[in-house]
Structure formats: structure tokens, C-alpha cells
A and B are shown apart, each in its own frame.
Chain A
């Protein structure tokens, strides 16, 4: 009986103790910093911000170079040719290319047989052209040189239009070409091309399509 009474008193004391601890406590209120009346203070972080600039990826889709080779002007023999070329690669398959070339035609067989006949004046022997082509990489692949070297390459075909100036006359020309591009490094390419410039000519009295085939070797750089 005595122990029960003690436990009751103890429980009452504990409860009152708890209420003692909580006495005077108000309902929790949100903590608000004391703000001085008037000007609000803005805390400036004392950290230097680092400017993070993401480097841009450089696109190397343009190709520029020069070529040299032999041009066979129909009826006027084969002569050296040189020129410059520029290309833009649109996708891994398609590219657009422009050419500027220059050569000088020789004597026609008629002029060689009859030296007194002149078919084309001396200044008219200049053979200059420009081409605008669309190219397609038909057979991309690798070329192996011995055991240790592999070079990326592509066999491509081009078709285009342009102007051939020959015998002091501008002629509309169609161009058909096949070439091989071998990448010596990723930015330097070796080109081997065979291209035909076809245009209509009446130099010998009759209208006919003349084929002027060139075989060239070129170097280009990608940038």
C-alpha cells in the first residue's frame, strides 16, 4: 500500500516536474532576424565567382588546296595543267567542291600537218575553267602501306557544271570526275583525280561535243 502511494506521488511529482520545465514557454514562433528600420542590408558573398567558359569545338569541314597534272584538250594534244580547289563537306558522304584551273593547249593535228593554217590564235590557246561540283564519297575506306601504316581514304565521284574558256570563247561545260582522297594526316590529304570537261565546240566547222580529260595530283588541307 505504501509503495503504491509512493509511486502515485512520484508520478505526480514527475508530471509536475515536466510541466515545470515547460512553464513560461510560448508557442514556437518563426525566427526573424532583427532588421534595422529603413535600409535593408544585403549580404555580399565574399567569394570570387569563377568564369567558366566552355571551349568551343572547332569544325574542320573546309578543304583547300592545289593540283597539278596533265590535260588532254581534244584535237590539241596533252599539256600541263594546274589549279586550285576548295571543298565544303556537308556530311560524311556529300561535299560541294569548286575548281579553278589553267592550261595551255598545243597544236592541233591540222595545224601540225599544214603549218600555214591557224585554227586558234596564240592567246586563244589558253584553256581556263571553273567548275562547281557536287561530290559523293562512294567507297570510303583505308589504304595500307606495309604493316604499320593505315591511311583513311575515299573514292569519290563528282558531277558539276562550269565554264571553259578556250579559243577566246566561254563555253558551258559539264564535268564528270572520279578521284581518290588519301588522308596523310587528319588535316592533309592527297588527291588523285581524273575529270572530264565536256563542252560543245565548232572550231573545226561542225558542232561536236569535245572531251577534255585531265589527270591530276593534288594536296589539300582541312581547316
Chain B
């Protein structure tokens, strides 16, 4: 009997907790003549319900530029971001719909792309953090797939954007350090399996839409090896990124 009681109490506590959790949704007042609710989060989905002026809607969550809302009588649907931004809080303040991050001053960037490294196909992924509007730190992991060997490259560097306000095309330059690991496919094995490297880069970036951007980069690497010859490599790549 006692375990059962404990279970019931636990479930009840959990239920109260859940009920409490569901209360924390944002409620907004429709100030326009009406607010259209679509059946899905996309421009082509039909309008299935209309909320009238001065009525409250509960915002459940968002997906891309659409918000799932619940009308006073329980009907649920998707509202376009621009429409929801015209509603207000009960206090009359504008709805706290966070704006899209500004491209010229964004903080974080995550992207991936294709490139050529030492005449090998390159798959690249990177994360980028803006220290100031024009200087950012980037961390890149890459895999170069060639016929003779396979290389894994990790690099860390600083990059300067010359005119961050230029939206569609803005040139960049950078320097950094890198590390490569070589996995040979055909003999003979490389003399150095791994190398420390340094690079200088030139590139460009541009805005595409909302939080989507492109980036192109050309890099010149100097490989530090144990041989008495200087080894230099070139890389170029083109990628797409999402910024936050």
C-alpha cells in the first residue's frame, strides 16, 4: 500500500510540475483587426482559423519564421512571424519577438562547405566567434580525400573582415595555425604522419537570407616538417553558414 501511495504522490507531484510548466507560455493580445492561423508552418498552408482583435493567443513555440499559437478556444495553428510581431503583451508593450541577428554584428556562425586542398577534394566544417565586428576567431575541421592519401586538418585562426557593413560581398583576410594528420592509401608511407602548419588566408563573405550566409576562402599553408625542404600547400573552399 505504501509504495502505491508514494507512486501516486510522485505522479501527482510530476503532474503538478507539468501543469506548472505548461503555464509558462507567452500570451499576446491581437491588436490588428484579425490574426490568421495557418494549418502548417509555410506560406502555402491554408488559413484554418482567425483570431479577432483584443483576443489573447498563447504562443507555444516557433519553427523557422512561423509560430505555433493557441487561440482562446483551444484551436491551434501557425502564425507568420511578421503578423505575430504586430501583437502586444497584456501591458500594451510590443510582443517580444526576437529580431533576426544583424548580419554585420552577429556573434556566432556555424557552417560547412566544399573545397580543394593540395589538389584533393575537401569537406570542411567550421565554427566562428566574433570578437569584435571586424575580427573573429575561427575553428575549422576538414577532411581532404585524395587518391594517394587522406588528410585530417584542424585549424584555429583569426580573421579580419575589412568592411563588416558590406552585406552582399565583404572581403576578409586571416592568419592562423593548423595541424594535419596524413593517412596514406598507397605505399610508400609519408615521412611525416602529422605536421604543424601555419596559414595566411584571403576570402569573402556575404549575406543570403535571414540567418543564412556564404563564405569563400583561399589559404596558403606553410608545412613545418622534419625534412630540410620547405613544403607549401594551397586550399580554397566555398561554404554556407548559419549565423546567430
Residues of A within 8 A of B (CB): 52, 54-61, 88-92, 94, 96, 132, 134, 137, 140-142, 150, 152, 154, 161-163, 169-172, 183, 186, 222
| Beta-carbon contact of B26 and A142 below 8 Å | no
Q: Write the nearest CB–CB distance from A26 to chain B, whole angstroms.
A: 46
**For the complex, what is the distance from the CA of A60 to the CA of B42, rounded to whole Å?**
15
Q: Write the nearest CB–CB distance from B16 to chain A, whole angstroms.
A: 18
| Beta-carbon contact of A90 and B40 below 8 Å | no
| Beta-carbon contact of B39 and A134 below 8 Å | no
Does B62 have its Cβ within 8 Å of any Cβ on chain A? yes
Per-residue CB contact flags for chain B residues 179-223 toward chain A (1 = under 8 Å, else 0) read 000010100000000000000000000000111100000000000
Residues of B within 8 A of A89 (CB): 63-64
Residues of A within 8 A of B150 (CB): 170
Cβ contacts A to B, 9 pairs, < 8 Å: A55-B26, A60-B61, A89-B64, A90-B210, A92-B64, A141-B44, A163-B123, A171-B145, A183-B40
| Beta-carbon contact of B145 and A163 below 8 Å | yes
| Beta-carbon contact of A59 and B145 below 8 Å | no
Does B45 have its Cβ within 8 Å of any Cβ on chain A? yes
Known A-B contacts A92-B66, A140-B44; the reply to A57 vs B212 at CB < 8 A is: no
Per-residue CB contact flags for chain B residues 218-234 toward chain A (1 = under 8 Å, else 0) read 00000000000000000
Does B161 have its Cβ within 8 Å of any Cβ on chain A? no
| Beta-carbon contact of A91 and B123 below 8 Å | no
Residues of B within 8 A of A171 (CB): 145
| Beta-carbon contact of B112 and A90 below 8 Å | no
**For the complex, what is the distance from the CA of A85 to the CA of B96, rounded to whole Å?**
33
Residues of B within 8 A of A (CB): 24-26, 39-45, 59, 61-68, 89, 91, 96-98, 112, 114, 120-121, 123, 125, 143, 145, 150, 183, 185, 209-212, 240, 242
Residues of B within 8 A of A58 (CB): 61-62
Q: Knowing that A92-B65, A140-B45, A161-B121 touch, tell me 14 more A-B residue pairs with CB under 8 angstroms.
A: A59-B63, A61-B62, A90-B211, A91-B64, A91-B65, A92-B41, A94-B209, A96-B240, A142-B40, A150-B39, A152-B40, A152-B45, A170-B145, A222-B63
Contact among A52, A90, A161 for B212, CB-based, below 8 A: A90
Residues of A within 8 A of B125 (CB): 132
Q: Which 7 A-B pairs have the closest CB atoms?
A: A172-B121, A172-B145, A152-B40, A58-B61, A132-B112, A55-B24, A140-B42
**For the complex, what is the distance from the CA of A6 to the CA of B65, rounded to whole Å?**
89
Q: Write the nearest CB–CB distance from B37 to chain A, whole angstroms.
A: 13
Taking CB as reference atom, which chain A residue is nearest B38? A152
Q: Write the nearest CB–CB distance from B27 to chain A, whole angstroms.
A: 8
| Beta-carbon contact of A91 and B210 below 8 Å | yes
Q: Write the nearest CB–CB distance from B173 to chain A, whole angstroms.
A: 26
**For the complex, what is the distance from the CA of A154 to the CA of B41, rounded to whole Å?**
11
Residues of A within 8 A of B143 (CB): 163, 170
Q: Write the nearest CB–CB distance from A210 to chain B, whole angstroms.
A: 15
Contact among A56, A59, A91, A163 for B26, CB-based, below 8 A: A56
| Beta-carbon contact of B40 and A88 below 8 Å | no
Q: Write the nearest CB–CB distance from A120 to chain B, whole angstroms.
A: 15
Contact among B43, B44, B91, B185 for A169, CB-based, below 8 A: B185
Q: Write the nearest CB–CB distance from A59 to chain B, whole angstroms.
A: 5
Q: Write the nearest CB–CB distance from B48 to chain A, whole angstroms.
A: 10
